[in-house]
Amino acid sequence: MNVSICVPAHNEAANIRRLLTALLEQETRVARLVEVVIVASGCTDDTAALARLVGRGRPGVHVHVQERREGKVAAINAYLKVRDPRADVTVVCSADLDLARDVVEKLVCHLRDHPEVGMVGGRPVPNNDASHLIGRMVRVLWELHHRVSLEVPKMGEIVAFRAPLVEYVSELSVVDEASIEDIVRAKGYRLGYVPDAMVTNHGPETLREYFEQRRRIARGHYWLQFAFGYEVATLDRSLLLRSAVDTARGEDRLGRAALAAAIGTEVAARAAGFWDARVVGGKHRTWQPLASTKSLGGSTEGAGGAARTGRLSARPGPGEADGRRHDA
């Protein structure tokens, strides 16, 4: 299956080289990577330049620059306009991740083996310090999401969907994965979850940023429910309660305290997010980045060695031969 990858990125100079290297070094048999498109959205750092450096000599790596930051969904829509028409599968990947080498293959194989599934998500695992309360809150939150997704898939961080299903995402949304879920479900397809397709992310390190992140997400989910009638899995209270009980059973004393703190914070964040959705609605599409979530840590090798053993098809995409491709 031909795979096109979209990487929306805003000021990701610290992470983009590592992420692109991991994508180019994916070990695949079923998945055939035909392009990686980095959408550098309103960047004021070297994100675009570093992405071009990694892609030098690789005809399938393209950088599309948006001069003004308009939100992640707008970046995805910019990608959808120039996506390679050969693509059977689109992968949308956050720029601040570290990937196992078989993630793309596992996502694509799930779509191949389950024709009724239109979209799949991998499993994000945060690398926050679990010995501190906030770090443990982040970890138990994602463990809770994992348990929810085992029953009802909830997308996040990295997703793959059948390319023909999605041509445009409402730019009033601030929850891109959930909005794509809605599109896929509306076209009669199911969602899938691949728990062994693992990616590493980094959650907030302060309570203020943790609360702000949860508030933003709650606002987006409630807006999607109000505007389109679509409810993400984590708005199902009975499912959340069962998953929280299961999560608590596997935690030590600190973990249970962190879970209780995460639940309390979530209640407050959802109340604020509900109010935001009612008052602000879809008028606000961009957010101030949460600085601590960008500190994934580590980097790949020096600038000249980023491109090593990529799996991209060497066949040019449409428009490349005459220079009309969307590199900026």
Residue 174 within any structural domain of the chain: yes
User: Six-digit token pair at 79?
Assistant: 């990608």
What distances in angstroms separate CA 282 from CA 40, 178, 210, 227, 277, one per listed residue?
23, 14, 22, 9, 7
Per DSSP (E only), the strands in the chain are 2-9, 32-41, 61-66, 89-93, 98-99, 117-126, 158-162, 190-201
Residue 191 within any structural domain of the chain: yes
* Burial per residue of 175-198, b for 16 or more beta-carbon CB atoms within 10 angstroms, e otherwise: bbbbbbbbbbeeeebebbbbeebb
Range of the domain at 110: 2-296
Residue 316 within any structural domain of the chain: no
Confidence at residue 323, expressed as pLDDT on a 0 to 100 scale: 33
Residue 305 within any structural domain of the chain: no
- pLDDT higher than 70, residue 328: no
| Distance, CA of 45 to CA of 61 (rounded, Å) | 19
CATH number for the domain that contains residue 243: 3.90.550.10
Residue 142 within any structural domain of the chain: yes
Average pLDDT of the chain, as a whole number: 87
Domain count within the chain: 1
Tens digits of per-residue pLDDT, 182-206? 999 999 999 999 999 999 999 999 9
Residue 317 within any structural domain of the chain: no
Confidence at residue 173, expressed as pLDDT on a 0 to 100 scale: 82
**Average pLDDT over every residue of 28-41:** 95
Tens digits of per-residue pLDDT, 76-95? 999 999 999 999 999 999 99
- pLDDT higher than 90, residue 319: no
